[in-house]
Structures are given as structure tokens and as C-alpha cells.
A = this chain, B = another copy of it.
Amino acid sequence: MAEQVRAIRTRQTILLAAATIFEEHGYQAATISQILKAAGVTKGALYFHFESKEDLAQGVIAEQDQRFVVPPRASKVQEIVDVVMLHAHRLQTDPMVRAGVRLTMDQLAEGLDRSGPFLRWSEVGLELLQQAQAQGELMPHISPSETADVIVGSFAGIQSMSQAVSDYRDLVGRVSALMRHVLPSAVVPSVLASLDLSEDRGAAVYAEALAASGDQEVLDAAG
């Protein structure tokens, strides 16, 4: 058991070091020796957990999907809003999430498959939109997969613009504006009227998910 905990910690140490090095040098220029040095672990330990530089990058990228689950909502459209707002909040506050998103958006990263996070987020959105459709929350002409792709793609650009112009300070305002522009085209008015799209929604959902998880590891990791 103690050994398993140690292995998880070592893996996390390596991922944090990789995130830092990718942030500093870009995926292309980053090397495994730099990551080894920053992590302070042996080559054997690193290769026990990760096969290659791409594997390390995929590990960092995967961290953005982990750990926090939005509690189920009666309105599945509200649940989508909460997933989006929570992700925005984590981008503002968690360096690992930030590093994963930057790698995903690194259009210069040759040989790194960046489609994973787009496709995974689209699947999350599709599933929730299909549930929303089944319970009559969407306009009749809406295709859940198209709407999911529009939300995921738009969010990716909104966060990039926010990083470029304000280093994420205006992120939640921009994401709230995106929701107010996209949802009225897809959602029936009675549902729209009941949605909470406010800028502080992400922080509130984060606190709720944290409390609900009851997981000491998560609470520790979240500081």
C-alpha cells in the first residue's frame, strides 16, 4: 500500500515537472532530460511511468479531465453550463489544467496528437445534450453532436483569447458571454429562463464538487 502511494506521488511529481518544462520550452523543444532534472527522479522511475515525451504530454493533457465531477442536475443544460464554468474556474486556478490546455492548443506541436481532449470534451457534451434532448430541453432542429462541437471549439478559443489579452483575468466573463450567445439558439425558452449563467457559477460548482468528493487526497491536492 505504502509503495502504491509512493508510486502515485512519483507519477504526480513527474507530471508536474513535465508541465513546467512544456510551459517553459514548448512541446517541440522540451527534452526528457530537462524533465528528469526538474522532477529529481531517476531515469528508471520516469520510464516506469511514461514511455516517451508524447506519453508525458498526454499525461499532462489528461489531468484536465480528472478529479472533479459536476453533481447531476435536473436540467441537463444547466449541467453542461456547470461543466464549462467549472473548467473555466480550474483554468484560472490550477497550473496543471492550464498546462494541459496549452499543450492541447499548441498547433506547432508536431507528432503530438492533440485531438484527444477535443474529442473527449465533445463526448461529454454530446452525452449531456442527448439527455437534454430526451427530456425536451432543446429546440427541435438541434443536432446534439453539432452543438457539442460548437461549444467545445468555441470554449477553446475563448480561453486562448482571454489568456492572450488578460492572462485569464477576464475568463469567466467571456465564458458567461459565450453561453448567453450560444444557448438561446439551441435551448427552449422555459429552460433558458431557469439557467444560472453568472460569472461566479464556476467557483460555486468547484466548492460543491470538492465537498461532495469527500476525498482527502483531492482536498490535499486542491490545497
Interface residues of A (CB under 8 A from B): 22-29, 101-102, 104-110, 114-115, 118-119, 146-147, 149-150, 152-165, 174, 177-178, 180-186
10 A-B interface contacts by CB (under 8 A):
A25-B28, A102-B107, A107-B164, A114-B164, A147-B181, A150-B158, A150-B178, A153-B160, A160-B160, A181-B181
Please report the C-alpha to C-alpha distance between residue A183 and residue B186 in the assembled complex, in whole angstroms.
Answer: 11
* Closest 3 pairs (CB-CB, A-B): A157-B157, A156-B157, A154-B154
Please report the C-alpha to C-alpha distance between residue A138 and residue B152 in the assembled complex, in whole angstroms.
Answer: 26
* Chain B residues closer than 8 Å to A25, beta-carbon distance: 28-29, 108
Please report the C-alpha to C-alpha distance between residue A155 and residue B156 in the assembled complex, in whole angstroms.
Answer: 9
Please report the C-alpha to C-alpha distance between residue A143 and residue B172 in the assembled complex, in whole angstroms.
Answer: 17
Please report the C-alpha to C-alpha distance between residue A44 and residue B110 in the assembled complex, in whole angstroms.
Answer: 32
A165-B115 in contact (CB<8A): yes
* Chain B residues closer than 8 Å to A106, beta-carbon distance: 26, 106-108
Tell me the nearest residue of chain B to A23, going by C-beta: B108
Expressed in whole angstroms, the minimum distance between the Cβ of A96 and any Cβ of chain B is: 15
B178-A153 in contact (CB<8A): yes
* Chain B residues closer than 8 Å to A174, beta-carbon distance: 149-150, 153
A165-B29 in contact (CB<8A): no
B29-A181 in contact (CB<8A): no
B165-A161 in contact (CB<8A): no
Contact of A26 among B29, B114, B156, B177 (CB under 8 A): B29
* Chain B residues closer than 8 Å to A146, beta-carbon distance: 177
* Chain B residues closer than 8 Å to A157, beta-carbon distance: 152-160
A154-B180 in contact (CB<8A): no
A108-B27 in contact (CB<8A): yes
Centre residue among A27, A102, A118, A159 by max chain B CB count within 10 A:
A118
* Chain B residues closer than 8 Å to A118, beta-carbon distance: 161, 164-165
